[in-house]
Amino acid sequence: MGRESLDEFLNRARAQVDAALDRYLPRPPSSPAIVCEAMRYSVFAGGKRFRPMLTLAASDAVDRKAFESALPAACAIELIHTYSLIHDDLPAMDDDTLRRGRPTLHVVYGDGIAILAGDGLHAEAFALLARDPATDDPVVVARKLRLVQLVGDAAGPSGMVGGQAIDLQAAGQVPSHPLTLDAGSLRAMHARKTGALIRASAMCGATIAGADTAVIGALDRYAEEVGLAFQIVDDILDVEGDAASIGKTAGKDAAGAKPTYPALFGLDRSHAMAEECLARARQTLADAKLTDGHLAAIAEWVVRRKS
């Protein structure tokens, strides 16, 4: 039997991720209803589920039987991603009022509950990584421990937190520590803020599926290119897109004088840079003999997407 098409794989994977997230997220009375509602408001706001899809596609590329084992990690990464969006949208951060086509969480529930919902998702992600899949197999336990490290590194000061701090400095929101970004430092910022979790997504899928060090390294390099392309396209869409299609406030970066790829390189060069990332990602997969799967098609989707 042949492999599914990319659309078939993504539709199946999204449905299973959504069902699993519904199971994993707490409900009253274990947690206060207001926190549960706020967490679910953002988790089920209709995101693309790109990062968990990447986790599942990476596991599938290594071992087609590893899907179920990779599902908890995929969900944990989506919880981390959603927490970061909640906090990024806060008035003290990006101060955005629209996310995934709906009012941002702090607009609906207030800043305090939004902060707590983000904190709750962050904690639930690590609890999930430690808990599932439940097993006493020392090999799987060791892999799970590695996942905790990968996600922690990606979410922490060397990853997303550090990237957001640099973003705040560059946007003039830390007057005591101003920072001007050139092309190299812009890429370094986004490698932390956006790229770190995307790289962890791929490496987690490969790790839980039992990939060796060489394959994990190849998928890390592939995901680094995909992460850079994802950010470049995000910046392009902020210029070329509209709020209805991209699901968030269009033109926000330019209005806030934020450093972006189109601002530094122009739209034409930014489009070309995204295509170059795609070419390098494809070559990395070919060199590692990881072409029998959906990873190349996912990289192309990242570059071609309109939202």
As given in the structure block, the two tokens for residue 168 are: 């705040």
| Residue 272: per-residue pLDDT | 97
pTM value surpassing 0.85: yes
Report, as an integer, the average pLDDT of 78-106: 95
pLDDT (tens digit per residue) in 99-129: 888 999 999 999 999 999 999 999 999 999 9
> What 3-state DSSP class applies to 28?
coil
Task: Give pLDDT tens digits for 169-223.
Answer: 998 999 999 999 999 999 999 999 999 999 999 999 999 999 999 999 999 999 9
Each residue's pLDDT tens digit, 131-158: 999 999 999 999 999 999 999 999 999 9
Task: Give the C-alpha separation, 47 to 283, whole Å.
Answer: 29
The Cβ of residue 154 has, within 10 Å, a number of other Cβ atoms equal to 23
Distance, in Å, from the CA atom of 103 to the CA atom of 189, rounded to the nearest integer, reads 27
Decide if domain 6-304 falls under CATH 3.40.630.30. no
For the chain, percent of residues with pLDDT exceeding 70? 94
Phi, psi of 77 (to 5 degrees): -65, -35
Q: Which two tokens stand for residue 305?
A: 């997407």
Backbone angles phi, psi at 98, to 5 degrees: -135, 130
Q: How many CB atoms lie within 10 A of CB 54?
A: 33
User: What are the C-alpha distances in Å from 143 to residues 92, 134, 206?
Assistant: 37, 12, 10
Say what the pLDDT of residue 307 is. 83
Q: Measured between alpha carbons, how far is 231 from 277 in angstroms, rounded to an integer?
A: 11
**Coil vs helix vs strand at 285:** helix
CA distances from 252 to 89, 182, 240, 249 (A): 12, 20, 12, 6
**Which pLDDT score is estimated for 1?**
40
**pLDDT at residue 250, rounded to an integer:** 53
